[in-house]
Structure 1
Amino acid sequence: MLTKNELAKYIDHTLLKPTATFADIELLCLEAKEYGFYAVCVNSCYVKHAASILKDSDVKVGSTVGFPLGAMLTASKAFEAAEAVKAGAAEIDMVMNVGLLKSGDFYGVQEDIAEVVKAAKSINPQAKVKVILETGYLDENEKVSACQLAKAAQADFVKTSTGFGAGGATVDDVKLMKKIVGNAMEVKASGGIRDAKTALAMIEAGATRIGTSSGITIIQDYEQQIS
């Protein structure tokens, strides 16, 4: 059984609402430090602010790229990724171009991911890149293809959802994604994870990271279960 602190290290404490303010981001960062979360995940405009607050802590800063649609130019995504890493992001959560995948343009999808990976790691070779598949829009074959393309593009993670699209993380999707990427990549479950039971089910299915805006609720819920 995981300890409370071990569970906290799976969590990316997330705030991606368009109405988020500097004060909201500061609170997010202070909460992440208090609870010992692995990282915060913020929109790229707030990376510098978050990094300044967290500079003397173990909490990493994650930044979204191409969020939430993933449908902009590849050059724009790559630029955003590089600038976010320069500003202090240790991790990049990029949205895959779902429309290209559904068009059958697998080369375009892989190139889009590869350019973001290249841009992020050119600034910091240790930077991690997560590819958000937005699984709620994909059938099983598309999910498999998306994982294979992310792996071929040398990303570090595949991730289920933005939390802004159709559906969210499911245990079956996490199992499928882990089966396809094996030990070459990690899996992040995100979207609709709001309690300890769901978080633990995702970890059991193969997720090594949980993206959620309900991290504090999850930890408090878990404390009650194990007390």
Structure 2
Amino acid sequence: MQKDFILSHVDHTMLKQGATWADIQRICDEGLSHKTASVCIPPSYVADAAAYLKGQLAVCTVIGFPNGYQTTAVKVAETKDAIAHGADEIDMVINIGWVKDGKDQKVLEEINAVKEACQGRILKVIVETCLLTEEEKIRMCDVVSRSEAEYIKTSTGFAGGGATFADVELFAKHVQPGTKIKAAGGIKSVADAEKFLELGAERLGTSSLVAMLDQKD
């Protein structure tokens, strides 16, 4: 695959707890120069990044991150705040406990409540595959497909596991047409990125792929 094609599918990510403005500014500069799909950053930096980028690159941020067990009202408030400060895309974490309890309708309602707060912006739903059984993953493919969200996303990268080829294959088999897939967490090589895209991922969440592609040149 061409380098530019891969980069156009990358959400260039910096979500480490100790991330500074210098770190965020660096990935904004890298995202701009490499024409990534977006930069994915902590909510506290959205306003600064949006002002810095001036609409030249999409700003993505995370909601209910990384555990997903905040109340729906809190996630909605977080989303409204992020949008007000300039976020273009939202990646939200579902309530994993609700999945385990079989409360799929509550998960669906929460996704749609956050989507309404997005005011037309793209919503990606993180289901944290490393914490789910195969049956639960398939159920979440159905829930996200029935929701108003645009994407199902594998992972936060903070729960002990990230995207796997098997999970992206499973998603591609079970999501409905129109629901896109984001693979995130643990993309270790350019070959991994290419494989995820071949399997059906539309976006890749990664902090290291830009540097890896530069080294490949």
- State the secondary structure of the residue aligned to 2:116: helix
Specify every segment of 5 or more residues in structure 1 that has no aligned partner in the other structure, as ranges: none
Q: Is the 8 A contact 1:7 1:219 kept in 2?
A: no
1:78-130 deviation digits (Å, cap 9, x = unpaired): 11111111211111000011011001111111111111011112xxx2x1000
- State the secondary structure of the residue aligned to 1:167: coil
Question: Once the 2 structures are TM-superposed, how far is the Cα of residue 22 of structure 1 from its aligned partner?
Answer: 1.3
Q: Structure 1 residues 89 and 56 mapped into 2: Cα distance closer, same or farther (>3 Å)?
A: closer
Match of 2:87 in 1: 89
Which segment drifts farther, 66-75 or 82-91? 82-91
C-alpha distance in 2 between matches for 1:31 and 1:215: 11
C-alpha distance in 2 between matches for 1:154 and 1:190: 21
Specify the code of the residue in structure 1 equivalent to 2:92: M
Q: Is the 8 A contact 2:154 2:163 kept in 1?
A: yes
Match of 2:34 in 1: 35
Q: Is the 8 A contact 1:195 1:221 kept in 2?
A: no
1:136-193 deviation digits (Å, cap 9, x = unpaired): 0001110011121112221100000000013110111001112211322110000100
1:51-71 deviation digits (Å, cap 9, x = unpaired): 1111152x2100100000000
C-alpha distance in 2 between matches for 1:204 and 1:221: 22
Specify every segment of 5 or more residues in structure 2 that has no aligned partner in the other structure, as ranges: none
Specify the code of the residue in structure 1 equivalent to 2:201: A
Q: Is the 8 A contact 1:47 1:63 kept in 2?
A: yes
Question: Once the 2 structures are TM-superposed, how far is the Cα of residue 23 of structure 1 from its aligned partner?
Answer: 1.4
Match of 2:154 in 1: 160
- State the secondary structure of the residue aligned to 1:187: strand
Q: Structure 1 residues 146 and 222 mapped into 2: Cα distance closer, same or farther (>3 Å)?
A: farther
Match of 1:141 in 2: 135
Match of 1:67 in 2: 65
Which segment drifts farther, 187-196 or 213-222? 213-222
Match of 1:201 in 2: 195
Q: Is the 8 A contact 2:190 2:209 kept in 1?
A: no
* % same residue: 40
Q: Is the 8 A contact 1:159 1:190 kept in 2?
A: yes
C-alpha distance in 1 between matches for 2:143 and 2:176: 14
Question: Once the 2 structures are TM-superposed, how far is the Cα of residue 220 of structure 1 from its aligned partner?
Answer: 2.3
C-alpha distance in 2 between matches for 1:187 and 1:106: 19
- State the secondary structure of the residue aligned to 2:98: helix
Question: Once the 2 structures are TM-superposed, how far is the Cα of residue 221 of structure 1 from its aligned partner?
Answer: 4.9
C-alpha distance in 2 between matches for 1:82 and 1:104: 28
Q: Is the 8 A contact 1:132 1:161 kept in 2?
A: yes
Q: How many residues align?
A: 217
With the length of structure 1 as denominator, give the TM-score of the two structures.
Answer: 0.92
Match of 1:180 among 174, 194, 216: 174
